[in-house]
Every structure is written in structure tokens, then in C-alpha cells.
Amino acid sequence: MTEVLKKKKLWIVVLLSIVTLGIYVGYWFLSAKSSFQLINKKNYIPFKWWIVATIYLSLSLIISVIGEFVLTIYGLYMLDSMDLILTYFYLALLYYSIYRVKELLEEYDDEIELNKYLLFFFHIWYIQYKMNQAVNRGLANEKTA
Amino acid sequence: MFSFRGFIQTIGVSLLIIIAYTFIIGFFNVLSVEWVIFTTFIVSYGSVGILAPLWNKQTPYSAAFLSAIVMSVINIMFSMIVLQIPVLIEPNTINENLFSSTVFSLMTAFLFLQINKRIGREKDD
């Protein structure tokens, strides 16, 4: 179990997802791809869309910084509107993915049980917390064995 | 898992329902403009909330949410291209539109699933 799931410091995950304005969430999914594929090769997490989302979020951050100097007020409003529409798509992708991760982890380990409401509010932070718990449990079991 | 075919079916049938509904209320001309907008909103996003769980049984809420966003985007594009209204220069309106449509669709999907569950339970009894 310890080989499959990767442990990450929770406070770093929380801090990075806030500081990077959500870009880290995309990176988190892509970095966990190998772990999830080891659990079940036929998982339903749309990693290709996460690549697109991560690239878009990075570009959007750059454009919104540069846009202040380059675009007119109408251009900025249009950029805001486009960002809003894509943010809703991003939310759809995020919530679809985290509930697929929930199913994957619960299928993999009987001791992992994710609360759907906590998952809704804390998304990848809660998943990472549960993954860390599973890794620690695995390490403790190895020591006692 | 996520049925793309079901998702396209939801969008297509909802659009057909809106066309039929607006044709009927336009033909009989019984409602004021405000009521036409309000009832069209209810019919379009209500139908999305009902049809998405029907054709996407494994991921009903994701399907309802995504269908509502796509329907809103279609509406926005229609306003821009056909009616020549520059809606994209008002991000607050876009946000209100997306928020209300997704919340309404999710609520309808939730109610639809709860009613279905209750009917299923009563049938089992």
C-alpha cells in the first residue's frame, strides 16, 4: 500500500492550492496519476482534461496579469466573463474527478472511507489527508509484522 | 462511467423542449415578457435536471451540472451571435446566470432522484 499511495504534507497541499489559485489542484491530479492507475488501470478520472485545465489556468493567470497593461476595459470584462465560464467547467471537472477518486480508493482499501460532504468542501485536501492516513497505517502494519 | 451520449441527448432534447415551449407561449401570447423569461428558465433548466439523471444514471449530478453550464453557454452565444447583445462585457450577469442555472438544475436533479427512490421503495414494498 505504501508503494502505491504517495504521502504529501497536508499543509503544503493546502498552501500551494491557495497560493497558486487552483493551478496546483491540476498538478496534484497529474502527479497522482501513476498511483491511481496502479490501483485500477481502467479508472474514470479524466487526466487529459486535467492537462488542459492546468495549462489553461497557468495561461489565464499570466494573461490576467499582463491584460491589465495590454487590454482595454471591454477586453478585461470579456476576459473576466470567459474566465467565469471556464471556472464553472473547471468545477465540473474537479467534482467529477474527486468522486471518481473516492470510488477508486474505497474499492482499493476497505479501511479508507471518505465522507461525501467533507469531500465536497475539502476536495483534494481531504483525499490527501485520507491517503496520508492509509500510508501511515501501512507503515505501522509493516513495523508490527 | 460518464455517458457522453446521454449528455448530448440531454442537451438536444432540452433545446427541443425550449423551442416547443416558446413556440406555444409565443403563439398564444398569454404571458408578459417577465413571465415568459421566468417560465422558460424553469422549463429549460428543469428539463435538464430531469433528463440528465435519466440518461446518466451513474453520474447524475455531474451530468446535470455540466449540462446546465453548456445550456447557459449556448444561451450566451445565441444572445451574442443572433441577438447581437454584448453579454460578455458583463461578467456579473454571466456569473448570476451560470450560478442560478446550475443551482436550479442540481436542485431539480436532487428532487427527481429522491422522488424516484421513494417510488422504487414503494414498488419493492
State the smallest CA–CA distance between residue B108 and chain A in angstroms. 17
| CA distances, A138 to each of A12, A76, A104, B14, B55 (Å) | 22, 51, 18, 49, 40
Report the C-alpha gap between A37 and A13 in whole angstroms.
Answer: 21
Sign of the dihedral through C-alpha A4, A7, A13, A14: positive
Report the C-alpha gap between B52 and B61 in whole angstroms.
Answer: 8
Q: Residue A49: what pLDDT? A: 93
Q: Residue B121: what pLDDT? A: 76
Question: Residue ranges of the alpha helices (H) in A1-145?
Answer: 10-19, 23-31, 33-39, 47-70, 73-108, 116-144
Give the mean model confidence (pLDDT) for residues A72-96. Answer: 91
pLDDT band at B125; cut points 50, 70, 90: low
For the cut 70, the answer to whether the pLDDT of residue A3 exceeds it is no
For the cut 80, the answer to whether the pLDDT of residue A140 exceeds it is no
Judged by a CB distance cut-off of 8 A, whether residue A107 touches chain B is no
Model pTM score: 0.89
Report the C-alpha gap between B107 and A26 in whole angstroms.
Answer: 28
Residue B43 exposed, middle or buried by CB count within 10 Å (0-12, 13-18, 19+): middle
Interface probe, candidates A85, A100, A119, chain B, greatest B C-beta count within 10 A: A85
* Digit-coded pLDDT (tens) for B80-100: 999 888 888 889 999 999 999
Give A-chain residues touching B89 at CB under 8 angstroms. Answer: 74, 77-78, 81
Report the C-alpha gap between B19 and B24 in whole angstroms.
Answer: 9
Give the mean model confidence (pLDDT) for residues A95-107. Answer: 90
